[in-house]
Chain A
């Protein structure tokens, strides 16, 4: 792991989510961009009170370029509706912004991002959270939960 990427609170200089997204499209902070179709950045309003954080884009998300549009996204959508929460008012993103996969015949199977990839990519998640300043973050699954609760993650005090 590269030390400078672990500096607590280090974030991008982008002034808006659109600008941040534009920067992330060219991200080469780790090697995952080499085999992914595109960066799948977060989606939703900058004024969102709720930020949902998954693990990483899946096969469908990689092709479409949007988070949670595959089978897991369908479950998330239905569950949000049942809980009375409007998905359009949430910001939805992932811990890691590129699809990581292993090829099995014609299928691309999901492969877990490693600690180094997660740390390098957290720069984007921190930057998203700094711009949005949500009231609550929802960690969907162990990867997001472990990362958000970890000591190396966190926003600079001025942004809190």
Chain B
């Protein structure tokens, strides 16, 4: 999710990667990791 706070560049909000480390279930951890990568993918929208 991208927010537009006053007097700041856009802020893309995602999880902290340590969150993935704390997930015990491997499939769940992988799913969160994929979501994290999808979030990071949004960075490129702003750069172009």
Contact = CB atoms under 8 A, between A and B. Distances in A.
Given A54-B16, A72-B17, A9 B37 contact: no
Interface residues of A, number: 42
A79 B40 contact: yes
Interface residues of B, number: 28
A80 B40 contact: yes
A124 B24 CA distance: 35
Nearest to B40: A83
B21 A145 contact: no
Interface stretch (A20-28, A97-105, A149-157): A149-157
30 contacts: A9-B7, A49-B47, A55-B16, A71-B21, A72-B17, A75-B36, A83-B40, A84-B41, A85-B43, A129-B9, A135-B47, A136-B9, A136-B11, A136-B47, A137-B11, A137-B12, A138-B11, A138-B12, A140-B16, A140-B17, A141-B15, A142-B16, A143-B16, A144-B16, A148-B5, A153-B5, A153-B8, A154-B6, A160-B7, A160-B8
Q: Binding site of A, secondary structure by majority: helix, strand, loop or mixed?
A: mixed
Interface of A: 8-9, 49-50, 54-55, 58, 68, 71-73, 75-76, 79-80, 82-85, 129, 133-145, 148-149, 153-157, 159-160
B37 A137 contact: no
A105 to B, nearest CB: 20
A82 B33 CA distance: 10
Contacts of B14: 138-141
